[in-house]
Amino acid sequence: MADMYYQEIDEMNCKLQHMCPALVNRKGPILLHNNARSHIEQMTLQKQNKLGYETLPHPPYSSDLSPTENNCLSTSATSRKRKSSTI
């Protein structure tokens, strides 16, 4: 999984260089991702450092950062309860 993410970082960097060189040529692009294992593997962190990417810290399980996901999940659960009670 980390190998795939490592390759995706390379592809993203190449696309950014062509599509938005000003972003890549600044101090370094800012990358926001979660704390998934593939995102924090040593080889991934080394790759980001080599490319000069700044990584923003992302606390795990933070409902503040993704309220829409929480709304979708609660709506989905409520919907399922309603359907099961009508059957």
pLDDT tens figures, 29-74: 677 676 666 667 788 788 888 888 877 766 666 566 555 554 444 5
**24 or 76, which is more confident?**
24
Within-domain flag for 65? no
**pLDDT tens column, 4-20:** 877 888 888 888 888 88
Please report the pLDDT score of residue 4 as a whole number. Answer: 82
Q: What are phi and psi of 72, to 5 degrees?
A: -65, -40
Within-domain flag for 84? no
Whole domain around residue 19: which residue ranges? Answer: 1-26+34-57
Within-domain flag for 68? no
84 pLDDT exceeds 60? no
Provide the number of structural domains found in the chain: 1
Cα(80)–Cα(44) distance, integer angstroms: 39
Within-domain flag for 86? no
pTM: 0.45
